[in-house]
């Protein structure tokens, strides 16, 4: 959420910046400033009414002490009117404050100046590419056919148990899944991230804290009886650890990693691009989260990008990195880099990680602060990234490592799997 004071100070600059997202922000900011003006005017009127009521109450006390009961009783009638006015003004203030908060929730983050303008994923900027695309054997299969051939993943069984998008991993498929989780966590902890286990359900306040609500409300599974939400990513519970906290400046950087299943009610669509593991409603992901001093957050973003690169290098998967354009940038992000693995069997790139800097956008919602060297309270910066999301990494391994004798396991995963080939 954007800071109200900065909206007042930089309205025109923010409107211009949000054009990168293809948004005409003029009505949004006009509404916010109008509601803010109303809220402040109501607050001033309420403060004055309360001050007058307090002053008269003191006068009444003095009059009673002086034996002037008749004059005191006359003033008591006036305090009754003031109390009623205060009550009404308090109700108006509550409504105005809630309306202002709701309006602020509707405004996305301001893109970093380096974010390219653009309308869709077609306008994203490729900034790095590494790895040779392998030449596959004749008759190479996409991962959903390989999963069936080697009895690794049963998509139909998942449909029987739950529905489409909830696969069942079996045998060496389940072991490879577990191996990837352990490998990712080990890589992250070796890089200085503290491993943490968090709940898989969050309350509404947590959803608002990191910006999934109200923006992604329709994409989250809602447990209505308890008003809880299944997490779309570990980013949400991990970052909410710091909600309403003032962290110590000397604790920066704060680096956490965690494995969770993720749940997303993405709109259904059909075709090869969503077959198999390409798009799921439940999937596993290992996340990295950082809380940083504002002066260091973009160096931290670069470090997160480099960290994910080391993982993909060790897996020996061909990949590229895209800087997302304004039209493809997430609601809460100021800058995002997407990692994509090339699926040779599908002849297309598959997104397997997003690494983002939210600057103060989440911290303002969370009230996540620190005290600077002058003792002044400031908002921290938050960042997160996938290291990594499993489904498409697994798809890339199955497709790119297939041979006439079976599917080879990347060398770095063999100690975790306990086998070198799936045959």
For 357-368, the pLDDT digits (tens) are 999 999 999 999
Better pLDDT: 272 or 117: 117
| Averaged pLDDT for residues 145-152 | 97
Q: What is the pLDDT of residue 81?
A: 81
**In the predicted model, is pLDDT for residue 401 greater than 80?**
yes
Alpha-carbon gap, residue 207 to 214, rounded angstroms = 8
Tokens, residue 29: 């900011």
Q: What is the pLDDT of residue 267?
A: 52
**In the predicted model, is pLDDT for residue 411 greater than 90?**
yes
**In the predicted model, is pLDDT for residue 269 greater than 70?**
no
Alpha-carbon gap, residue 283 to 388, rounded angstroms = 11
Within a 10 A sphere around the Cβ of 365, how many other Cβ atoms? 24
- With a pLDDT cut of 70, the percent of the chain lying above it is 98
Within a 10 A sphere around the Cβ of 69, how many other Cβ atoms? 11
For 48-103, the pLDDT digits (tens) are 999 988 888 888 878 777 777 777 677 777 777 888 899 999 999 999 999 999 99
Segment 27-34 long-range contacts (CB within 8 Å, at least 24 positions apart): 28/103, 28/106, 28/107, 29/107, 31/103, 32/4, 32/7, 32/100, 32/103, 32/104, 32/107, 33/7, 33/8
Name the DSSP letter for residue 358: E
Within a 10 A sphere around the Cβ of 120, how many other Cβ atoms? 10
Which of 123-127, 147-151, 264-268, 281-285 is predicted with the least confidence, judged by mean pLDDT? 264-268
| Averaged pLDDT for residues 383-412 | 97
Alpha-carbon gap, residue 384 to 9, rounded angstroms = 28
Q: What is the pLDDT of residue 273?
A: 60
Q: What is the pLDDT of residue 240?
A: 98
Name the nearest CA neighbour of 419 among 171, 145, 147.
Answer: 171
Tokens, residue 122: 């077609």
Dihedral of the alpha carbons of 395, 399, 401, 402, in degrees to the nearest 10: 130
Spell out a b/e string for 297-309, using b for 16 or more CB atoms within 10 Å of the CB, else e: bbebbebbbebbb
Q: What is the pLDDT of residue 116?
A: 96
Q: What is the pLDDT of residue 373?
A: 87
Contact 248, 370 (CB under 8 A): yes
For 202-254, the pLDDT digits (tens) are 999 999 999 999 988 889 999 999 999 999 999 999 999 999 999 999 999 99
Alpha-carbon gap, residue 399 to 144, rounded angstroms = 9
Domains along the chain? 4-105 (1.10.287.40), 121-422 (3.30.930.10)
Helix (H) or strand (E) holding 354: strand 348-359
For 309-348, the pLDDT digits (tens) are 999 999 999 999 999 999 999 999 999 999 999 998 999 9
Question: Which neighbouring-strand residues pair with 15?
Answer: none
């Amino acid at each position: 959420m954007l800071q109200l004071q900065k909206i007042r100070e930089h309205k025109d600059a923010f409107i211009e910046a949000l054009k990168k997202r293809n948004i005409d922000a003029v009505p949004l900011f006009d509404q916010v400033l109008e509601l803010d003006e109303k809220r402040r005017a109501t607050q001033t009127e309420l403060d004055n009414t309360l001050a007058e009521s307090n002053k008269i109450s003191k006068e009444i006390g003095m009059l009673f002490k002086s034996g002037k009961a008749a004059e005191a009783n006359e003033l008591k009638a006036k305090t009754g009117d003031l109390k009623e006015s205060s009550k009404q003004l308090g109700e108006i203030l509550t409504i105005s404050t809630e309306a202002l908060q709701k309006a602020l929730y509707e405004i996305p983050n301001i893109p970093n100046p380096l974010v390219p303008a653009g309308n869709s994923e077609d306008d994203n900027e490729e900034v790095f590419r590494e790895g040779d695309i392998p030449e596959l054997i004749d008759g190479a299969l996409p991962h959903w056919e390989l999963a069936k051939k080697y009895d690794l993943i049963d998509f139909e069984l998942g449909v029987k148990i739950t529905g489409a998008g909830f696969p069942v991993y079996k045998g060496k498929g389940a072991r490879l899944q577990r191996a990837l989780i352990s490998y990712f966590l080990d890589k992250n902890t070796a890089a200085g991230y503290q491993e943490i286990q968090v709940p898989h359900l969050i309350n509404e306040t947590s959803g608002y804290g990191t910006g999934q609500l109200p923006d992604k409300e329709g994409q989250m599974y809602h447990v209505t009886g308890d008003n809880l939400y299944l997490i779309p990513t570990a980013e949400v519970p991990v970052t909410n650890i710091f909600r309403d906290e003032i962290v110590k400046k000397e604790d920066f950087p704060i680096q956490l990693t965690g494995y969770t299943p993720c749940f997303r009610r993405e709109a259904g669509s059909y075709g090869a691009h969503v077959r198999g593991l390409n798009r799921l409603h439940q999937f596993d992901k290992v996340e990295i989260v950082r809380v940083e001093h504002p002066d260091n957050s973009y160096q931290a973003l670069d470090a997160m990008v480099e960290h994910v690169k080391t993982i993909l290098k060790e897996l020996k998967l061909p990949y590229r990195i895209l800087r997302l354009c304004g039209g493809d940038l997430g609601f809460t992000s100021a800058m995002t880099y997407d990692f994509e693995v090339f699926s040779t069997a599908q002849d297309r790139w598959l997104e397997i990680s997003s690494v983002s800097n939210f600057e103060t956008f989440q911290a303002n919602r969370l009230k996540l602060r620190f005290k600077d060297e002058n003792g002044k309270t400031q908002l921290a910066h938050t960042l997160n990234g996938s290291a990594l999301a499993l489904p498409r990494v697994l798809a890339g391994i199955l497709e790119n490592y297939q041979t006439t004798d079976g599917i080879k396991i990347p060398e770095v995963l063999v100690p975790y799997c306990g086998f070198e080939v799936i045959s």
